[in-house]
Structure 1
């Protein structure tokens, strides 16, 4: 995909409402580090597990000066029905038309989806996800081939890390997020 962001790029502008109807823009987080996470859809079991992991770490990240915003290519009603049940303390944003996804260069790839399903450890991964309480159910009308992406954006709105998944199981390592969250603010 040729419109993918790179470190040093300004984070693209967006305006959206979160799961509580509160407005969210990049200006909302001016002066704070930000993790923007783009997920497949709100019913995605792997995505829900990742959100659960974010929730467990969020208070520490917030104390360190980093906020989190999570996007889902899902209608708002589905967002509430699935991932919204986790009561995330950070914004969850429905982007069913994938407009913000497009601004950030987040791709959809049938080839990467097929490669994910062909991983030798896919059964182990799905068993771990189901053991965490997330069912592998399809979200009607969702983009099955959406590949996740995560961005670390500094206090000035500049992309420091742009991680585009190579598979749907490929996310930015927590060690990289922890280092970014812990770095001293200028």
Structure 2
């Protein structure tokens, strides 16, 4: 079971390929706040809803200094298909090795349809301008999650 992050922790550094295969690092966002969300799989109903909600609210979040990055175990080719099909504007990164998912506490045992399985735990970590964890939310719901973040942040 991965350790869950707590407010005040230093967010684990990462460099992962985006939908076009270009490397994107957490360090690229230094001096800005970034919402890093982890989702199980591109092109699935819940993950599509969540990604579309983030895309729909991207301007509002950007006005308040937040960038949004979605991370899943998908390969760049699948992320590109997801982005293009759903007209997503959020940065999507692939972590097929699941190392970053684990370092953020977003991979491990979870309950699914009453069974315990190992997989991606839908999570959101908000990282401040100094690279510290501001909030860490685990086992979030795909639907309504973005609205809750916006409300919780007072935007």
User: What's 1:68 paired with?
Assistant: 68
Partner Cα distance (2:154, 2:83) in 1: 24
Post-superposition Cα deviations, 1:69-93, rounded to whole Å, max 9, x if no partner, equal 0011112222223354223222101
Between the aligned partners of 1:86 and 1:176, the Cα distance in structure 2 is: 22
Conserved? CA contact 2:14–2:100, under 8 Å = yes
- Three-state SS of the structure 1 residue aligned to 2:77 is helix
- Does residue 1:176 correspond to 2:149, yes or no? yes
Name the structure 2 match of 1:127.
Answer: none
Pairing 1:56–2:65 present: no
2:139 equivalent among 159, 165, 172: 165
Q: Which runs of 5+ in 2 are unaligned?
A: none
* Bigger strand share: 2
Matching of residues 65-104 of structure 1 within 5 Å: 65-104=65-104
- Structure 2 counterparts to residues 1-186 of structure 1, below 5 A: 1=1, 3-109=3-109, 112-115=111-114, 145-165=119-139, 169=142, 172=145, 174-180=147-153, 182=155
Q: Deviations over 1:40-97 (max 9, x none)?
A: 0112210110000101000111121100000111122222233542232221011112
Mark the CA change 1:11 to 1:170 in structure 2 (over 3 Å): closer, same or farther: farther
Structure with larger Rg: 1
| Count of residues in Structure 1 that have an aligned counterpart in Structure 2 | 154
**Structure 1: which 5+ residue stretches go unaligned?**
117-142
> What TM-score do you get using the length of structure 1 for normalisation?
0.72
Regions of 4+ moved over 6 Å = none
**Per the alignment, in what secondary structure is the counterpart of residue 41 of structure 1?**
coil
Give the Cα separation in 2 of the matches to 1:181 and 1:68: 17
